[in-house]
Structure 1
Amino acid sequence: MKMAWKEIMKSKTRYLILGSIIFLISLLTMIISGLANGLSYDNASLIKDMPEGTFYMQEEAEGQYNFSSLDGETRNEIEEASSDAMFLSIQMGEVEAADEKRHGVAFVSTANSDHFPDVEAKRLVLDNSIMKEGISEDEKMTNGLLDHSLKVDGFTDQQKFSHAPVAFINHDDFQNMYRTDAFQLAFIEGNEAPVIDGLSQFTNDEFLNTIPSYSAEQLSLNMIVVFLFVISGMLFGIFFYMINVQKIATYGILKAVGVKTSTLFKMMWVQMIIITIISLVLSVGISQLLGAVMPEGMPFLLTLSSSSMMSLVFLVVGFIGSTVSGIQISKVEPMQAINQGGM
């Protein structure tokens, strides 16, 4: 520990450069991860806030919920399998306010639900994000597929689908709008899901990945995060490799006086841990501060547990990178290294 710290103090500039690079990469990784989590929640908070369970849709729909249709007979089969089954339908649409301004929404109709509001006919409950656009309670809104208006009966918190505010409506109104009395999906809460012929089953996470916009966004952002982890590991490896090459003569002398190879590795690991921890503490603190000061409309979500998990990954990546670069330490022959240092 003392030897590692003395080395850092002796070459402050060298280790400060490495620490700065790790700080910037880790901060960028956490910011992108926060944006990915924020976009994920903004895209599908309707589903993400539901309890763990199983979604059912027609096998013929091939994983596309909007092509699924559960008729009355199928619904009876599902209810026989589980009396607690919930049914829901989701369709993108729009509502028009009194000022003739149109607002894109995701219409959601449910039955037997304890998780979503029970809406009366000719009424709707909106996600509160739409309040920023001047929509207020008791306001009447229209839709081109209905011959009557819908009265705003209240607001819910953080209920979005495909980045659009959710509009919960009565199933009779949904049926009049889309000319169908069938639900698209069934949901059974819990880990034990009965198998029902003709229906595909999806966990919450699996169902999220069937939403095209969700899977495309998350795949792109997660790939960036993975590449940043890989880059950080390469930086550790290159940096410590260069340092080790410069210190071959020193390692030879230390080995000649009896210092074990394992001790030299421990010195390198301690240096890596010190630099990484200082960099990560700064990046975690700044990323949490950014989360607090981000504009309200910015979808940014980074919990302290997520930051801690990423910090652990950085430590593991740093350990692997420095260890791989330090393999040359074990190959150093004392006399050969001393002779090379004296040339």
Structure 2
Amino acid sequence: MKMAWKEMKKNKLRYTILGSIVFLISLLTFIISGLANGLSQDNASLIKNLPGGTFYMEEEADETYSFSSLSEEQQQEITEEQPETTFFSIQIGNFIDTADKQRSVAYVAATDSTYFPEVNAGDVILDASLEEEGIAVGDEITNEQWEQTLTVAGFVEHEKYSHSPAAFINPDDFQTFFHTDSMQLAFITGDAPAFENLQAFSNSEFLNTIPSYSAEQMSLNMIVIFLLVISGMLFAIFFYMINVQKLGIYGILKALGVKTGKLFQMMWAQMLIISVISLILSIVISQTFQVLAPSGMPFHLTWQATGLLSLVFIIIGFIGATLSGIQIKRVEPMQAIQQGEM
């Protein structure tokens, strides 16, 4: 470590340039990861907030929840097997607030459950993002197709579906407004039995049935993966170029009895120092950005995701540096000294 630090101080510019590039790549990775997680929350926090379980929809719905309709017989069959089953429906729609402004929401109605708010008939509970836009408890909302109004009874945090704030209403109101007498989905925690004519989904599988969710997440995650690969290639290329320039020095050190493992340790120490400093700066800036980002921006970077990405960066940097150092192992002292003299 001491020898590695001395060389880095002697060649400050060279290692500063590498550190700056690693810093920019890691910062960009954290920002994109935060955007991916933020968009994921904005698109499906209603589902992601549920515990691990199994979702059921009608098999003929072809994995499209809006086409699913669970008959009373199916609901009764499921309830007999799992008495604590939650049945719920989702309908993308809109409402008009007291300022005659139209707002898009995802209406959600559910049977008695600990996973969704319990709403009285004639009331509605909205996602807190609508409170920030001026809607208050006691306001009455309506729709051009409804004959009655709903009264805002409260707000809940981080409940969105398909990039729309959730609006929880009573099942009776849902059936009246949307002219249906059945629920679309069933949710069961614990054992997941199979039911005839029903298709089962895990939480992650159900998320992929949400329009645009998988395509949106795949695109952003691919960018993150490419950035991680680029960082590994950067370390490999950088240390390869440095090792070529230092073959003569390595030859002398080997002739003096310095083992190859010691030279690798010096290179790993340099990689670790550069990575840690760059990652610390990236983490500080990305977390600061999360605090200062506008409330409407879907940015969510958890410490768990930050720690995981940092670990991946270090591992990839280690692999890249190690691959570039294979020539250190192969170099012969006299041959390297002669190349250095030339």
Shorter-chain TM-score: what band?
over 0.9
Q: CA deviation at 1:46?
A: 0.9
Code of the residue aligned with 1:202 in structure 2: it is F
- Runs of 4+ aligned structure 1 residues displaced above 4 Å come to none
Question: What is the TM-score with the length of structure 1 in the denominator?
Answer: 0.96
Q: Contact 2:121 / 2:172 at 8 angstroms: preserved in 1?
A: yes
Contiguous gaps of at least 5 residues in structure 2 = none
State the identity %: 60
Code of the residue aligned with 2:268 in structure 1: it is W
Contiguous gaps of at least 5 residues in structure 1 = none
Question: What is the TM-score with the length of structure 2 in the denominator?
Answer: 0.97
Q: Contact 1:85 / 1:112 at 8 angstroms: preserved in 2?
A: no
Q: CA deviation at 1:205?
A: 1.6
Task: Name the counterpart of 1:131.
Answer: 131
Task: After superposition, give the CA deviation of every residue in 1:17-49 in whole Å (9 maximum; x if it has no partner).
Answer: 111111111111111111111111111111111
Task: Name the counterpart of 1:142.
Answer: 142
Query: How far, CA to CA, are the matches of 2:59 and 2:279 in structure 1?
Result: 47
Query: How far, CA to CA, are the matches of 1:151 and 1:266 in structure 2?
Result: 67
Task: Name the counterpart of 1:122.
Answer: 122
Task: After superposition, give the CA deviation of every residue in 1:262-313 in whole Å (9 maximum; x if it has no partner).
Answer: 1111111111111111111111122111111111211211122221111100
Code of the residue aligned with 1:36 in structure 2: it is A
Code of the residue aligned with 1:204 in structure 2: it is N
Local SS of the residue matching 1:210 = coil
Q: CA deviation at 1:98?
A: 3.0
Correspondence list, 1:70-219, <5 A: 70-190=70-190, 192-219=191-218
Code of the residue aligned with 1:97 in structure 2: it is D
Code of the residue aligned with 1:242 in structure 2: it is M
Code of the residue aligned with 2:262 in structure 1: it is T
Query: How far, CA to CA, are the matches of 1:149 and 1:273 in structure 2?
Result: 62
Code of the residue aligned with 2:43 in structure 1: it is N
Determine if the alignment matches structure 1 residue 280 to structure 2 residue 270: no
Query: How far, CA to CA, are the matches of 2:331 and 2:198 in structure 1?
Result: 64
Q: CA deviation at 1:78?
A: 0.7
Query: How far, CA to CA, are the matches of 2:15 and 2:134 in structure 1?
Result: 54
Q: CA deviation at 1:177?
A: 2.2
Task: Name the counterpart of 2:38.
Answer: 38
Determine if the alignment matches structure 1 residue 337 to structure 2 residue 325: no
Query: How far, CA to CA, are the matches of 2:157 and 2:266 in structure 1?
Result: 52
Task: Name the counterpart of 2:234.
Answer: 235
